[in-house]
């Protein structure tokens, strides 16, 4: 790697008492309690779990063979964390709830109970902590018995968060081996304001300036070992490292990046991933970042005073946990840092048989696989933690029971024919009513969204008249797609609609055909490339009035993560993201969740027959 040396430092683990000191209004430790000298700190960290509390099925390559196994989940992560915890460790989480039925049903309660049991040393708020508004977050704050940190978020008296403001600190201080370590929490302002339900009664301060303020405040207390626990994205963590003097380590999240310096990921069919970055802070730029050691764990950046700043993040969805050992010298400089992500794996373990079907491996093959896992730094066999299973099992059982629970009623069957047939304006429209409903659910998921686009093939069943259950929503939207938001001009929207429509009609991939909410258009099934969809109108969200789409105006578009990558020939989505990552945001919410919640919130939880005035197809010829 191109930057500062990473070494394994031998631990002299002392039997010391460790305490967490809250920042605001708490007196400093007596000077006699703090010694000068070198110290090694182990940072154990997770991020962006998005309420994936259970393990996930993943296909890895073990000894060159495709192998399916369970990975991650907090019951397994906790087993790793407890194995790695030392008297010189801090256990940190850089935030992010919401994304599975655990959150949809229980609104963060099981997540916070898991973290209570885990005994986190600090948890930084992210943007999705505000997804149910200030009031629900305030209730979760009351539930927490671990430190919550957020330095650039200040509620006003009108916000329910004001009553619990003293339980959300800008930073905490932990004493390790006689040394003070400061841990500052920070989130990305623009993303939180625009992509959650935080109220206008919460104020935010700029990220870089706020970080500088609290680093200086810690340094004024004689603290020279400072960790920034951030939720701003990997590239923006590099901005912190370059522009904020005094930082030693940045433990990040938000952009779900997988970093590695072991070289093992490719061996197991994984790869370093630091793409999908959010835009820079106002007034700053990501220019020149290609000169950094991108993708390394840790990514070590030369800070503004010439000292190293080590950046780590630990992927997503509770797949793994990061373990970073940091060696501080007597002056508080982080002179060496080394570690890696650990991905816990568990049974059942499946490999293809002679017919190509996945079957559970034999005992001999399992022993061979376990030998490979044991020799790896990245993979680790980790059975579930009984304590965590005790917490999660009641919630898990309730989820299974509630999958058959009625969430609403469908008044008239919503068909899902991918390609519409010919009809004239004013006649009964054709096409996928179900895909239109999914798009409408996306649009209603966030007040910022102007229009939504859903590929017809992403909806796998019709919505039958009668009872509609959670299981029905999952069956209709079975993929692990998430909801994505992009800022696009009207011209770009028309282009992406035409890209997908022409591809659907001429490639055989009929599932690409686009259905929309907040948009309506005429379709010519025999037209050339770029001419299938014409006369595009857009609906004003507030008034409901329709007008011709403005080619120069910027709209917020929602779609699913599959098409957002440019799949199904939705090429303009990928082009917009590549040109300016700041215009792109993955909410990481599974795309059946908005459908469930949309139907629940309808009057009498009833999906009415199609309102043809709002349907996306005006005519088809």
| pLDDT tens digits along 332-362 | 999 999 999 999 999 999 999 999 899 999 9
pLDDT at res. 278:
82
pLDDT at res. 160:
97
Distance CA 583, CA 1 (A): 31
Higher-confidence residue of 565 and 142: namely 142
Point out the least confidently predicted range of 79-83, 497-501, 588-592. 588-592
- Average pLDDT (506-534) is 94
pLDDT at res. 590:
86
Flag whether pLDDT at 461 surpasses 90: no
pLDDT at res. 481:
86
Q: Considering the chain, what is the average pLDDT of its residues?
A: 91
Distance CA 49, CA 603 (A): 33
Distance CA 308, CA 116 (A): 33
Q: Which of 572, 433, 599, 427 is nearest to 494 (CA)?
A: 572
Flag whether pLDDT at 165 surpasses 70: yes
What is the share, in percent, of the chain residues with pLDDT greater than 90? 80
Q: Which of 381, 330, 323, 259 is nearest to 88 (CA)?
A: 323
Q: Which long-range contacts (CB under 8 A, 24 or more apart) does 387-396 make?
A: 387/78, 387/117, 388/74, 388/75, 388/78, 388/114, 388/117, 389/75, 391/110, 391/113, 391/114, 391/117, 392/53, 392/54, 392/74, 392/75, 392/110, 392/114, 395/53, 395/102, 395/105, 395/106, 395/110, 396/54
Distance CA 55, CA 280 (A): 33
Residues present in the chain in total: 621
The tally of CA atoms less than 13 A away on the side-chain side of residue 607 is 30
Point out the least confidently predicted range of 90-104, 158-172, 485-499. 90-104
Strand partners, 254: none
Flag whether pLDDT at 477 surpasses 50: yes
Q: The tokens of 24 are what?
A: 């605001």
Q: How, if at all, do strands 406-410 and 606-607 pair?
A: parallel
Point out the least confidently predicted range of 113-127, 316-330, 402-416, 537-551. 402-416
| pLDDT tens digits along 3-53 | 343 433 333 223 333 333 334 433 344 333 344 789 999 999 999 998 999
CATH of 20-50+88-340, one of 3.20.20.140, 3.40.1170.10, 3.40.50.1100, 3.60.21.10: 3.60.21.10
pLDDT at res. 489:
98
pLDDT at res. 554:
97
All residues at 6 or more sequence positions from 240 whose CB lies less than 8 Å from its CB, including other chains: 207, 208, 211, 228, 230, 232, 247, 250, 309
CATH of 406-620, one of 1.10.10.10, 2.40.30.10, 3.90.780.10, 3.40.50.970: 3.90.780.10
- Average pLDDT (60-68) is 95
| pLDDT tens digits along 552-611 | 999 999 999 989 989 899 999 999 999 998 889 888 888 889 999 999 999 999 999 999
Flag whether pLDDT at 70 surpasses 70: yes
The domain ranges of the chain are: 20-50+88-340, 406-620
Distance CA 93, CA 147 (A): 10
| pLDDT tens digits along 289-329 | 999 999 999 999 999 999 999 999 999 999 999 999 999 99
pLDDT at res. 4:
44
What pTM value is reported for the model? 0.78
- Average pLDDT (216-226) is 97
Name the phi and psi angles at 528, rounded to 5. -80, 175
3-state class (DSSP) for residue 590:
strand
């Amino acid at each position: 790697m191109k930057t500062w040396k990473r070494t394994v430092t031998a631990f002299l683990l002392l039997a010391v008492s460790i305490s967490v000191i809250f920042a605001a209004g708490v007196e400093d430790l007596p000077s006699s309690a703090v010694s000068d000298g070198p110290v090694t700190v182990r940072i154990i960290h997770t991020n962006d779990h998005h309420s994936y509390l259970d393990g996930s099925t993943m296909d890895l390559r073990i000894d060159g063979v495709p192998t399916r196994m369970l990975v991650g989940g907090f019951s397994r992560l906790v087993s790793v964390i407890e194995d790695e915890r030392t008297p010189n460790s801090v256990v940190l989480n850089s935030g992010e709830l919401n994304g599975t039925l655990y959150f949809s049903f229980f609104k963060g309660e099981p997540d916070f109970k898991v973290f209570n049991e885990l005994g986190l040393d600090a948890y930084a708020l992210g943007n999705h902590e505000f997804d149910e508004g200030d009031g629900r977050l305030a209730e979760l704050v009351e539930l927490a018995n671990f430190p919550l940190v957020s330095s650039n978020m200040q509620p006003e008296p009108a916000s329910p968060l004001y009553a619990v403001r003293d339980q959300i600190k800008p930073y905490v201080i932990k004493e390790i081996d006689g040394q003070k370590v400061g841990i500052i929490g920070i989130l990305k302002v623009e993303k939180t304001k625009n992509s959650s339900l935080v109220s206008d009664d919460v104020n935010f301060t700029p990220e870089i300036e706020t970080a500088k303020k609290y680093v200086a405040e810690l340094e004024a207390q004689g603290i020279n070992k400072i960790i920034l626990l951030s939720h701003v994205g990997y590239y923006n963590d590099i901005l912190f490292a370059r522009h904020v003097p005094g930082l030693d380590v940045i433990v990040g999240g938000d952009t779900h990046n997988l970093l590695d310096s072991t070289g093992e990921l490719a061996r197991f069919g994984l790869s370093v991933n630091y793409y999908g970055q959010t835009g820079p802070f106002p007034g700053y730029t990501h220019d020149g970042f290609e000169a950094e050691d991108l993708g390394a764990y840790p990514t070590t950046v030369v800070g503004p005073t010439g000292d190293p700043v080590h950046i780590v993040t630990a992927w997503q969805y509770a797949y793994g946990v990061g373990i970073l050992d940091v060696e501080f010298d007597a002056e508080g400089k982080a002179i060496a840092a080394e570690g890696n992500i650990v991905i816990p794996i568990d049974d059942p373990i499946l490999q293809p048989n002679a017919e190509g079907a996945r079957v559970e491996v034999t005992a001999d093959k399992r022993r061979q696989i376990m030998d490979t896992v044991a020799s790896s730094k990245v993979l680790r066999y980790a059975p579930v933690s009984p304590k965590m299973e005790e917490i999660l099992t009641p919630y898990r059982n309730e989820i299974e029971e509630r999958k058959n629970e009625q969430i609403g009623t469908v008044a008239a069957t919503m068909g899902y024919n991918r390609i519409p047939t010919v009809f004239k304006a004013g006649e009964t429209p054709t096409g996928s009513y179900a895909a239109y409903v999914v798009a409408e659910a996306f649009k209603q998921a966030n007040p910022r969204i102007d229009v939504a686009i859903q590929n017809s093939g992403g909806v796998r069943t019709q919505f039958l008249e009668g009872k509609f259950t959670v299981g029905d929503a999952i069956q209709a939207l079975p993929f692990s797609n998430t909801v994505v938001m992009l800022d696009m001009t009207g011209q770009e929207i028309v282009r992406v609609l035409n890209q997908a429509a022409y591809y659907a009609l001429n490639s055989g991939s009929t599932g690409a055909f686009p259905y929309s909410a907040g948009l309506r258009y005429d379709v010519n099934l025999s037209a050339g490339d770029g001419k299938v969809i014409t006369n595009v109108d857009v609906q004003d969200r507030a008034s409901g009035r329709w007008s011709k789409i403005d080619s120069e105006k910027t709209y917020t578009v929602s779609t699913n993560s599959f098409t957002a990558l440019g799949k199904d020939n939705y090429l303009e989505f990928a082009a917009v993201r590549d040109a300016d990552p700041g215009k792109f945001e993955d909410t990481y919410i599974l795309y059946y969740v908005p459908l469930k919640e949309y139907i629940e919130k309808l009057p009498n939880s009833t999906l009415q027959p199609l309102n043809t005035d709002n349907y996306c197809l005006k005519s088809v010829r």
